[in-house]
Structure 1
């Protein structure tokens, strides 16, 4: 066994991991000493012992403070992951000792999981009241790194492209159509037939640039000669989109299940969209597996998705053009 192997397997402690992460966060020994409630010489000694044991320089001393070397960046990244695993173990042990059944950390992509996840959580709580859940909303770009680092157990929402999954396991839950929606009072909601050209005079609620639906939506509208005006709102918030559709003449692109809320009904425009994104699903880190509580929530998501499939609105069927004039609309 080499000296590096021996130190990492035998002598590396959780306090070393916390020291690395803290130094990386503050880059200053005085501040590290202050937040860890020890002296500066003690911090310096601990770092020197760690570097000596590993046999590599982890930080460079510069005028801007301590900067991690490539070796330091590598070990810090793994230190964050190991600390996250230890925190999860602590939470599970506390839950078991207190009589609860565990805790799940879930990331939610709000534009596509706002119906599925709440109903799955209600089912989970009816079956396992002691399983507690923390839900964090965000974008794919913000949630997937948290899932990879172990800060989240699951991410629920529109699944990203397969080449972006890396080490993530995925399960398709609901292939709900993406539709064009308005409020029930909207002028287009009272028409028996709607053409693409009819959309040109109305403002839009758009997913932000870089989101999964934005680029495909723009391509569809461009293909139908519907330019996006300067009058629009960009948001991933279902609440904001719903409210705006209720009080104005905006048009939005939203998941089909959102039209069925009796408290805030929406109107689906009879214009067929191609598949703009992958189905709604759930992701987890295949290298970590699932805790028993995360598995319970996954089972509830699968059962809820099965129930929701029966309530999905049918996708509008595109009209077959009868002549050149209709084909150009």
Structure 2
């Protein structure tokens, strides 16, 4: 039996507010009315969705499952309504695009300029983040497309197109750093420096740890953790930190950053930008147009899979 959208909206409000009283205020309902609504939803799904505690409403394991799907359902509903409005000429088509920093800084600016000229009615909403964050946003229905090197493909995420190869990451310092002028550095030479890297658990941090572990050297102590590329580059350029970046983000004689000459294997094998979406998602007209434009502008050639596009 399909879930009533009003019940789902009520469920999401309680889950997000953590309280029946606060959710009732948000929904402009009385608390008894909201309580009856949640009970109807629990009866419909056949399982308790919340544990009533003195501190508020806590999701059960059943509620956690429903929350993931309810967010996707809500996102799909809003996307569908936006698409209908665009087709009727009431609103503009929009595309929610997630990109890793490399794509945002190097590849997207000229593409966006030409996409704007080709599809002036389309509004692009761009999220820049690490691959781990983009994967979560895709699964939750918060993004239509994502441009990244590698996202976990499977039940929730599929690769639409694989693009051209680029060099992997390397160790980076500022041009004025004492290590920048030295050749044939070892991992021991660089591990004691000040480091700025993304947090533990991210793919970038794992790559750095893997390089050190593969050569039998303890990973460096990271002094600053951040997911901001801007902060990372600023600390490397102006505060003497080291980090791990793809060359495309700092290549050029005018760049204040340089790749360190580390004798142990440090470069990742080449990797390719790819375009991802949620598995079997129905792309809107605007997202389908953006996908085709991205393929053309970014040099994507090999078709990996396909989402259904709205026509």
* Bigger Cα Rg: 1
Do 2:100 and 2:148's aligned partners in 1 also have CA atoms closer than 8 Å?
yes
Q: Could you say if the C-alpha distance between residues 286 and 227 of structure 1 is closer, same or farther in structure 2, counting changes exceeding 3 Å?
A: closer
The answer (yes or no) to whether the contact 1:29–1:40 under 8 Å persists in 2 is: yes
Q: Does 1:306 align with 2:296?
A: no
Give the C-alpha shift of residue 269 in structure 1: 3.2
Counterparts in 2 of 1:135 and 1:190: CA distance versus 1, 3 Å = same
Task: Tell me the TM-score normalised to structure 1 length.
Answer: 0.73
Residues 1-329 of structure 1 aligned to structure 2 (within 5 Å): 5=1, 8=2, 12-51=3-42, 54=44, 56-59=46-49, 62-64=52-54, 65-68=56-59, 72-98=63-89, 101-110=92-101, 113-162=104-153, 165-170=154-159, 171-177=161-167, 178-190=169-181, 193-196=183-186, 199=190, 202-223=193-214, 230=221, 232-260=223-251, 264-271=255-262, 273-275=266-268, 278-306=271-299
246-255 or 263-272: which moved more? 263-272
1:59–1:216 Cα change, 3 Å = closer
1:293 aligned counterpart, secondary structure: helix
- How far residue 136 of structure 1 moved from its aligned partner, in angstroms, is 2.2
Distance in 1 (alpha carbons) for counterparts of 2:41 and 2:47: 9
CA distance in 2, matches of 1:136, 1:243: 21
Q: For residues 14 and 263 of structure 1, do their structure 2 counterparts lie closer, same or farther at Cα, with a shift above 3 Å needed?
A: farther
How many residues align? The count is: 294
How far did residue 130 of structure 1 move?
Answer: 2.0
Asked if the contact 1:208/1:235 (under 8 Å) is kept, the reply is yes
1:317 corresponds to which residue? none
Output the CA distance in 2 between the equivalents of 1:174 and 1:72: 42
When the two chains are superposed, the root-mean-square deviation of aligned CA atoms in Å is 3.4
Q: Does the aligned pair in 2 maintain the 1:107–1:152 contact within 8 Å? A: yes
Query: Could you tell me how far 1:225 is from its partner in structure 2?
Result: 6.7
* 3-state SS of 2:283 partner: coil
Gaps of 5+ in 1: 308-329
In 1, Cα distance between equivalents of 2:20 and 2:240: 57
Q: Per-residue deviation at 1:288?
A: 1.0
Relative to structure 1, the CA distance from residue 305 to residue 255 in structure 2 (aligned partners, 3 Å threshold; closer, same or farther) is farther
User: In structure 2, what is the Cα distance between the partners aligned to 1:293 and 1:62?
Assistant: 43
Deviation of 1:209 after TM superposition, in Å, equals 1.9
